[in-house]
Structure formats: structure tokens, C-alpha cells
Amino acid sequence: MSVATENTETFASLNPATGEVVAEHPVQDGAAVAAAVERAREAAAWWRALGWKERRLRLLNVKGSLTRNLNRMAELIHQETGKPVQDAQLETIMAITHLDWAARNAQKILGPRNVYPGLMAINQRCVLEYQPLGVVGVIGPWNYPIFTPMGSIAYALAAGNAVVFKPSEYTPGVGVLLAELFAAVIPEHPVLQTVTGLGGTGAAIASSPHVDKIAFTGSARTAKRVMAACAENLTPMVAECGGKDACIVDAGADLDAAADAALWGAMSNAGQTCIGVERIYVVDEAYDRFLGRLTEKARDLRPGFDREAAYGPITMPSQLDIIERHIKDALDKGGKAVVGGAESVRKPYVEPVVLTDVPDDSSAVCEETFGPTITVHRVKDMDEAVEKANRTSYGLAGTIFSGDRARAMDAARRMRSGMTSINAFAAFAQVAALPFGGVGESGFGRIHGADGLREFARPKAITRQRFATMNLTTFARTEKEMARVLGMINMIHGRRYKR
């Protein structure tokens, strides 16, 4: 990670590739967080009163500003994470498209609509709408410091809330710049505020009695601590945690495309991707040919901080020890390194590592590695591939390559994950209309899409009596009226249904 120095007042954001200080940022304590939340409550009331069209216009103008500052944002991401500039540009583009979709679709999805009341309540007009929660606290990650939190920030704002954003201490500058862009376009009230700091800053947001929901991205271990803090005030939470995602390769798959996608899924961003490919299960018939293509492509990759590098350094220094431990454990238990090995860990970089014949109980198979390593496994058929892919406590995403559409769809449905892409890697992340989130240790709740908008709103049901009719909810109810109702219910619901 990029934090190297800190004191009680400020901390330094460091470039993980060079060790140079990118910027100094304040450590904002509980009092500062409370003040930000108070400002957010005032901003939320103003923002809600603006209405759908005005919020849409302002968010689209923020999108335009972010687009015009795309290269500035990407360069900052490059400096704070070490990832290649083009990858940072792609990440920012994806954030822009999600902000655009949330702004354009919020009213259609969350606005008032009539609901059919049914025969028993035919005299009622029923309206369902989704109201803002108030203040949403977003605790963001360092690996995708604008794309991932934007999946909460954009949707929460589009739903009518104000946001207090705590970026990772490794990428604070990204959060600061984002808030500056918002403030320039929406100067009236701070609908998005960024508070910088370490773990205590995030804890202050989670434990605030005036925050109405928390959107957290990070490890399952940290998510449990955040949940405990939220529990004190019954603050609801959406959690996007880690993954141990699998790629399944069928016998009739396009093996060149499969190898290319699996390699990108495993190695891009130095493997520091929650939805990255960490395990590959290949049907026996295609195993040798696929492995040959994969290893050939993997040997051409080189980490570095220059423009020609395939990926950058490991952003968080402590992760290097985990990556090295996983590689050594796999080899000690009989696995083979067909590309790289334990010597591939050259701080702050890790060169590509491809492991085969790794036992299922190895930490490289069971635990999230979060590095540019991958295990490749031979299976007899798709059923075994799905069974082994699901043999994990995680359940975030997955990838399937197959030339058989029906078999691929069947496997995708059976894969225990929140998202699955067929014949491409993580295509769902680029589709703003699709929900994003996991099951099990990978978290709960959803960002993105209609589900993501509803995640940051409360459903409100309203009925209005249109005309008077037989009233059954009164002490003046008669036996004759009840008999009429029972007869009607029996006529409507009492019949037998046949196959």
C-alpha cells in the first residue's frame, strides 16, 4: 500500500513503485467526521428537495467534468496505486458510464408508480415510491479507487442521498479530487464530501448514529468489524468483499480467447482484483492445449512502472507475504510452477506465476491470493468443474468459456456467484444496468443497476381510498358482510388446480 508515514495530524500517500510521497493528507478524527455528517444531513435535505430532473442535470454535469479531467484522474490513480496509466484511464471511463446510467435512470426506477390493489382492495389507489435514506457513508478500496466507490456514490446520489466518502488510506488523493470536481459543479451544498484518514476515520463513519447506510468494500475480516460498528445503531450496510473466482474452460471453447481472458483476469492490476481469476478448471480434452497457450502468453508479461509494463506493483506491502506464502505452500504440497515460482516475488513487484497440480487444500486454492498468480486444474467434465468452482466460502463472480451455448448457460446458473460472464472476462462490470455483488464471504447487497439504486432508497407504500365500500375492519362489521366475503374468497381461491 502507499502509506508509509503518519502522525496524529497527517499521513503520507506514497507511490508504491517508487516510494515517493504523492501528497500529505489530514487524519480526520471523530469530531471531523461528525461535522462532515452534519453538513451532509443539511445537504441531503436540499438535494432531495431539488427533485429528479435537477439532480439528474447536476450529476450529468459532474460526469462531464470528470470526463474532461479523465487524464488528470488517471495520472493520480497511476501515482497512488502504481497501475498502468491506460488501466487507470479504463477504470475512470467505467466510473463515468456508471455515473451516467445512475443519473439517467433513477427517476424511472425509483419514482412513484401505481400498483394494482387486487379485488379485496379494489377501492384503494396504491402508490409505490422509493425515498432517499439521507446520508450514506461510503468506505472505498484502494485497488479500483474510483470505479468501485462510484458504484455506491453515483447510485446513492442519484437516489437523492448525500454521501460522505472515506477513500482508502492508500489512495486518498483520488477521493479528494473527486470531491473537488463535485463541489465545482454543485457549489450550493456538499452533497459529496471526502474525509481522509486511517482505520479510525472509517470506524467513525460506521458508528455514527446520523449515517443512514454504509457501503463498504474490502476484506471479509474488516467487513465484520464494520458490521459490528453498524449494529450499535442498526445502520444497514451493503458489503462487497473478496473473492476466489474461477474460470471454467469447456472442451469446445475458443482456447486462444479463453487463455487471453483468463490471463487478463488473473494478472491485470497485478492480480489485485476482487473479481479476478484465481483458479482455472479445464476439461481434460482441452487441458494441455489451453495450458500451452496460457503459459506462452504469461511468459511475455512484465511488471513495472513504465508505460510498456503489463501491470504495476503490489500496492499493499503486506500482501507480498501472503502471495509468497501461497506460492510456497502450493509447491510444498506437490504443485508445479510452469511459469515463475517463489522467486517471482521481487518487492514491490510479483512476476507472473502459473501453478499446476496444486492440491485442493492448498492455500493457493482455498484463500484469496490477490496477486498475479493462478492455479490451473484438470477436470473430467463441466459438472466436476462447477462442483470444484463452488468449493469455496466465497461467491463473487466467475467466467465460463464454451462453444456450447446451452451448456455454458447451465454452468453459469449453477456457479455459486453473484455474476458470471460467458466467453469474456467480467463483462458484467461494464454493464451499468446489471447488479454487482456476491454471496457468502464475498458479501451481501448489490451496487449497480436498478438493484443498486434501490439499495440506497427505502420503499414507501401509500394507499388512498377512492370510494367507500363494504368495511371489514370495523367493530360494526356484520355476519352477513363476512359471509359475502367468505363466499367471494372461496370462489376466487378455492378451486383445485390440475397439471
- What residue spans define the domains of the chain? 10-241, 246-433
- Provide the CB-side half-sphere exposure for 72 (13 A, CA): 11
Phi and psi, residue 497, nearest 5°: -105, 135
Strand partners, 135: 162
Contact status, residue 20 vs residue 212, Cβ threshold 8 Å = no
- Provide the CB-side half-sphere exposure for 458 (13 A, CA): 11
Strand partners, 377: 281
Q: Give the other-Cβ count within 10 Å of 119's Cβ.
A: 9
CATH for the 10-241 domain, from 3.60.70.12, 2.70.170.10, 2.40.160.10, 3.40.605.10: 3.40.605.10
Question: Closest by alpha carbon to 441, among 151, 266, 239?
Answer: 239
Q: Which three cell numbers stand for residue 202?
A: 472509517
Contact status, residue 142 vs residue 171, Cβ threshold 8 Å = yes
Domain 10-241 shares a fold with domain 246-433:
no
Place of cell 446513492: 156
49, 64, 149, 150, 232 from 94: Cα distances, Å = 29, 14, 12, 9, 35
Dmax (CA) of the chain: 87
Q: What is the dihedral of CA 320, 322, 326, 327, to 10 degrees?
A: 10
Give one word for 34, left, alpha or beta, with left for phi > 0 and alpha for psi -120 to 50.
alpha
CATH for the 246-433 domain, from 3.30.450.20, 3.40.309.10, 2.120.10.90, 3.50.50.60: 3.40.309.10
Amino acid 432: pLDDT: 98
Strand partners, 115: 126
- Catalytically active residues, by annotation: 240, 274
Q: Which three cell numbers stand for residue 9?
A: 495530524
- Provide the CB-side half-sphere exposure for 340 (13 A, CA): 32
What is the H or E stretch that residue 277 is in?
strand 277-283
Question: Closest by alpha carbon to 452, among 481, 477, 419, 483?
Answer: 419
Phi and psi, residue 174, nearest 5°: -60, -45
By DSSP bridging, strand 277-283 and strand 245-249 are parallel
Per-position pLDDT tens, the chain of length 499: 344 344 469 999 999 999 999 999 999 999 999 999 999 999 999 999 999 999 999 999 999 999 999 999 999 999 999 999 999 999 999 999 999 999 999 999 999 999 999 988 999 999 999 999 999 999 999 999 999 999 999 999 999 999 999 999 999 999 999 999 999 999 999 999 999 999 999 999 999 999 999 999 999 999 999 999 999 999 999 999 999 999 999 999 999 999 999 999 999 999 999 999 999 999 999 999 999 999 999 999 999 999 999 999 999 999 999 999 999 999 999 999 999 999 999 999 999 999 999 999 999 999 999 999 999 999 999 999 999 999 999 999 999 999 999 999 999 999 999 999 999 999 999 999 999 999 999 999 999 999 999 999 999 999 999 999 989 999 999 999 999 999 999 999 999 999 8
Q: Which three cell numbers stand for residue 313?
A: 506493483
Helix, strand or coil, per DSSP, at residue 136: strand
